[in-house]
Structure 1
Amino acid sequence: MQHHNPTPSPAAEARPADGYAGDVTPQLAWQWWQQGDAVLVDVRTDAERDWVGFVPGAVPLAWKQWPGMAVNPAFDEGIKAAVPAGKKAVLLCRSGVRSIAAARRATELGLEAYNILEGFEGDADDQGHRGLKGGWRFHGLPWRQG
């Protein structure tokens, strides 16, 4: 596998947000994670990671669980255990919606938590397909399937 450095986007810093530390691009989240400044937490369900793909080395910690999509009762303990003092938490979901709620909760728990804009798959296009308009995979950041 060849290593390439994703080109820095114009938004190379966090954008302020309401109730958590801020919004970051997938590229900035990757950079922080590679530098050891942040822990990447994937808040999608196990099924999504299995079927759609995952980021190797990310901490898998669902925000909501199937069936019914109730908030995962183990989320609080899990995120506190995953993110050591002094590190940022960067939270990834499918399209950047659940990760906002998870970032707000992590902030309530005393963590410096950021939402990754666009999520893993990005927004759906006019045909309802994801992965073509932004997102972690779209930007060429590392991921695997299966």
Structure 2
Amino acid sequence: MRHDAGATGHAQPRAAQGYAGDVPPLVAWQWVQAGDAVLVDVRTDAERAWVGEVPGAVAVAWKQWPGMALNPDFDAQIRAAVPPGRKALLLCRSGVRSIAAAQRATALGLEAWNVLEGFEGDPDQQAHRGLRGGWRFHGLPWRQG
């Protein structure tokens, strides 16, 4: 079962196994604005370029196109992105890849959280994303480059 099943943007953070927990997009944005956390976008370079990105988020791909191979520099990049004492908020397309990235970041000693719903949310009945949750759906800052 997905960790973000039935999630809404108004829910509260919740603990998870193997990483600090899951956090709704609106709460994640509050943590970033308060200076308590760094938003780390773990999507591929292509996803950020074609679909959109969050201004100020640090790009540290978990997997990279083509082939979706693990990023061999993930460990060093995420350590460099998140200063000591700040939470790492991991964001992917739908909140699934970011769970694996949060687990790895936790193993590296970071307080890592998965951002529920991801950037685009789950697909609707017509397989369209962005209409059923996600960072953009909740009206949070983003741009398309």
Q: TM-score range by the shorter chain?
A: over 0.9
List per-residue Cα deviations over 1:60-107 (Å, max 9, x = no partner): 110001111111001000000000100000000000000000000000
Which residue of structure 2 lines up, in the alignment, with residue 91 of structure 1?
A: 90
> Equivalent residue of 1:78, what SS?
helix
In the TM superposition, residue 10 of structure 1 has moved relative to its aligned partner by 4.1
Aligned partner letter, 1:11: A
> Equivalent residue of 1:115, what SS?
strand
In the TM superposition, residue 57 of structure 1 has moved relative to its aligned partner by 0.5
Which residue of structure 1 lines up, in the alignment, with residue 11 of structure 2?
A: 11
Q: Percent identity at matched positions?
A: 77
| 1:57-68 paired onto structure 2 within 5 Å | 57-68=56-67
Using the size of structure 2 for normalisation, the TM-score is: 0.93
> Equivalent residue of 2:137, what SS?
coil
Aligned partner letter, 2:121: G
> Equivalent residue of 1:89, what SS?
strand
Which residue of structure 2 lines up, in the alignment, with residue 32 of structure 1?
A: 31
How many residues in Structure 1 have an aligned counterpart in Structure 2?
138
Q: What is the distance in 1 between the residues matched to 2:142 and 2:57?
A: 10
Which residue of structure 2 lines up, in the alignment, with residue 79 of structure 1?
A: 78
Please report the RMSD computed on the Cα atoms of aligned residues, expressed in angstroms. 1.1
